[in-house]
Structure formats: C-alpha cells, structure tokens
C-alpha cells in the first residue's frame, strides 16, 4: 500500500508544525488523528473483511517512522493505535463484530500490564483493576487491558488480554511528563464489570500463534507472532524520532556559527564525525528492523511458521534498534550547542521523546538480550513477549 505511505509523507509538514501544540495539549490533536485516518493509515493492519487493507507490515512500520520523524508523540500514538486492529483480528469473530460492526474506523487503546484481576463466571469474567500508560486513549472507544485470571484458590491460572467498550471504563487524566508529553497516556479504571469470554485472548494462544481470529482472518498477516508485531510498533517510533532529530540537526548545523570559534559548525571535523556516527546508527537500527520483519512475513506468506531463532532475533534487534537510535539522538544533541536547550526546538523534543520511549517495558534491553543469549547457550526460554 505505497499510496498510504505516500499520503502519510505528504502530511509531515503539518504534523511537524503541530508538534508543539501536541505537547501543550498533552494529547495528539483530533485534527491530526483525522488526517491520518483519511490516509488509510489506521487500516493498514486491519482485516479486509472489516474494511481493512491487510497490508505488508513494512508499509505500516515505514509510515510510523515517517510520522515519528515529524512529531514523536503523534508517531507513538499512531503506532500503538494502528497496531491494535491487527490484534483484534486475532480475537473471536464476535469480538471483531462488536467493535467494527457499526463503524470500521473504531479505534482501540491499550495497557497490557497484568494489573487486572479476573474471576471466572458463567459466560466470561468479572473484571477490575487500574492501568497506566494507555496512549491515545482519548481517541479510542475500546481498550485492551492485561489481566490475570484467578483460580478457585485465588492464584493466577492464565494471563489474558481483555477487550472492553468505553462504557465499562473510566479515563483518569494523569499524564504530565518530561517526554512523549503529547501521547495522552492516561490511566484506565475498571470497577467490577462483566467481560464475555469471547472478548478475551490468552497470551498462551498468542505465543503459539494459534488464535481464534485466524479462523476468519486467514491471511498470512495474522500468523505473525504477537510479540514481534507489537515490539516493533514500539521500536519503530523511536527510530523515527532519531530520524527526525537527525534531519533537524543537519539543517540547523548547516547554518550555525560557533561563537566561541568564529567558524561555521558544518566545517568542524568533530561535528562531521558525530553526524556520520549518528547516521550510521540510525541506518543500522532500521535496516535490521526491516530485514527481520520482512523475513518473518515471507515465512508466513509461504505458509510457514516464523522460526524460533528468528523470533529471538526480532526481539534482540528490536531493543538494539532502540538503543542505537537513542545513542544517535544523544550524539546529535551534544553536537547542537547551548541553543538546543531552548524550549520549542525540535532537537530537545526528540531527545526527550526518545528517552521516554526507551522506558517502555518492551524496550528493556537487558531482558531481551539475556533471553537471546540464554537460547543461544542451549537453555530453555519461556517469556510471554517472545
């Protein structure tokens, strides 16, 4: 769907101009969400039977990188909300009908940490909890929430994602941060509601890549591992932020004069080296992401399962991509001089946003790298995010 990518690219000047407004609002402006909707972006990973495009996932991640290069917060929210139609495609058909039956543009936010407690009852679960970091929740009317299913003894027996309509939860405005300020990642509160079983999905099923939604969404897109798709939807915005930082930095440095030395900053060989190093790290990060997800998609298109070693590599390179991107942003920020500290400049915004994206749990490098090393050394790996 290159036409969607092209349409997203045409939006970048407007999104760039709104970056400060997005920060000030502490959420993405409704106009930006609507503009992205009109490009078809939010339908890239949505099932065709519900009006979606079922695109090659690379179209989605390339679009996310572009959006994030203009505004980190808008890119982050777009990636998270844009990934959720793919996940809903894994749910039972009735859950998909509940969400998209009347409006195929319905959006879903999320918070996957298992903060909820679910007690089995006839036909489903009683569900309660409080969750943080539901990015873009102001633009969604449904939510995915992580929760533990409790057995008769009160101990957890399953970890599931629960799908709830906005009538079953409240949003508490608590988002006031130093980075990703415009994501509106507020808290979600649920107080003893009934969730039908068909609106839940076990992480044991997603880990095996065998989900009920595959009975109706038979295309290869829905055979990709959940952890691979979701983790890249968190890494891609950070690489996009580094891309935006690089573009704004190079433009700035071409005009900057170093007051202390009286020469153009562009002529400084040390600045040139930093620019080269940052460019290489950003390229390396993105090339690995593209190669891995492209290879995974080729496997499922061929009717094959994504090999275990590739799933491990996807997670390894996802956290390395984030680390490389942040290292590049740091190098560019250090090379920008004192004016980089001024509020409103792109470089300081990208610097704050990239570091905020790094602290997402899926970007924890040591956990993912240890998991990869364990597998390489012949030890058993069990992780819900593989």
Q: Could you give the domains of the chain?
A: 3-102 (1.10.540.10), 108-202 (2.40.110.10), 224-377 (1.20.140.10)
Q: Is 329 exposed, middle or buried (0-12, 13-18, 19+ CB in 10 A)?
A: buried
Q: Distance between terminal CA atoms of the chain?
A: 28
Q: Which two tokens stand for residue 354?
A: 């990239």
Binning pLDDT at 50, 70 and 90, where does residue 337 land?
A: confident
Which of 2, 105, 7, 106 is closest to 59 using CA atoms? Answer: 2
Pick from 92-96, 128-132, 148-152: least confident: 148-152
pLDDT value for 9:
98
User: Quick one: pLDDT at residue 259?
Assistant: 54
Q: Quote the CA–CA distance of 274 and 21 in Å, as a whole number.
A: 30
**Residue 124's Cα: distance from chain center in Å?**
29
Beta strands in the chain (DSSP E): 108-121, 124-134, 142-150, 156-165, 170-172, 186-196, 200-202, 257-258, 263-264
pLDDT at 262: 58
d(CA 164, CA 142): 6
Mean pLDDT of 213-232: 97
Over residues 190-214, the mean pLDDT reads 96
Largest Cα–Cα separation, the chain: 77
- Averaged pLDDT, 174-182: 98
pTM of the complete model = 0.96
Q: What is the pLDDT of residues 84-129, one digit of tens each?
A: 999 999 999 999 999 999 999 999 999 999 999 999 999 999 999 9
What is the overall mean pLDDT for the chain?
Answer: 95
pLDDT band at 20 (very low <50, low <70, confident <90, very high): very high
Q: pLDDT at residue 261 above 70?
A: no
Separation CA 260–CA 264 (nearest Å): 11
Question: Where is pLDDT greater, at 289 or 265?
Answer: 289
Whole-number Å distance between alpha carbons of 266 and 254: 5
């Amino acid at each position: 769907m290159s036409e969607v990518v092209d349409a997203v690219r045409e939006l970048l000047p407007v999104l760039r101009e709104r970056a400060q407004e997005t920060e000030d609002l502490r959420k993405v402006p409704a106009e930006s969400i609507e503009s992205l909707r009109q490009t078809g972006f939010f339908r890239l990973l949505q099932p065709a039977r519900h009006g979606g495009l079922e695109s090659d996932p690379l179209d989605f991640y390339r679009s996310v990188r572009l959006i994030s290069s203009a505004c980190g917060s808008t890119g982050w929210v777009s990636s998270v909300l844009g990934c959720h139609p793919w996940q809903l495609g894994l749910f039972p058909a009735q859950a998909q009908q509940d969400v998209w039956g009347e409006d195929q543009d319905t959006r879903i936010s999320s918070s996957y940490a298992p903060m909820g407690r679910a007690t089995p009852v006839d036909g489903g679960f009683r569900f309660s909890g409080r969750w943080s970091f539901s990015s873009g929740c102001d633009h969604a009317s449904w939510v995915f929430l992580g929760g533990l299913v409790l057995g008769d003894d009160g101990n957890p027996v399953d970890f599931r994602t629960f799908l709830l309509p906005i009538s079953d939860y409240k949003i508490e405005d608590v988002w006031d941060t130093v980075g990703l300020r415009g994501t509106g990642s507020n808290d979600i509160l649920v107080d003893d509601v009934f969730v039908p079983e068909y609106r839940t999905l076990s992480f044991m099923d997603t880990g095996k890549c065998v989900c009920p939604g595959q009975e109706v969404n038979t295309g290869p897109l829905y055979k990709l591992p959940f952890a691979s798709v979701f983790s890249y939807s968190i890494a891609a915005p950070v690489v996009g932020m580094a891309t935006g930082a690089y573009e704004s930095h190079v433009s700035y440095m071409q005009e900057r004069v170093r007051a202390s030395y009286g020469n153009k900053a562009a002529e400084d060989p040390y600045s040139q080296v930093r620019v080269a190093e940052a460019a290489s790290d950003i390229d390396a990060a993105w090339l690995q992401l593209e190669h891995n997800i492209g290879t995974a998609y080729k496997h499922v298109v061929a009717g094959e399962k994504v090999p275990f070693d590739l799933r491990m590599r996807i997670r390894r390179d996802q956290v390395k991509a984030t680390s490389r991107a942040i290292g590049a942003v740091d190098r560019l920020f250090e090379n920008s001089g004192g004016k980089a500290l001024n509020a409103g400049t792109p470089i300081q915004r990208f610097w704050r946003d990239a570091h905020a994206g790094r602290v997402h749990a899926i970007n924890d490098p040591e956990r993912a790298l240890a998991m990869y090393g364990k597998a390489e050394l012949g030890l058993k790996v069990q992780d819900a995010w593989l």
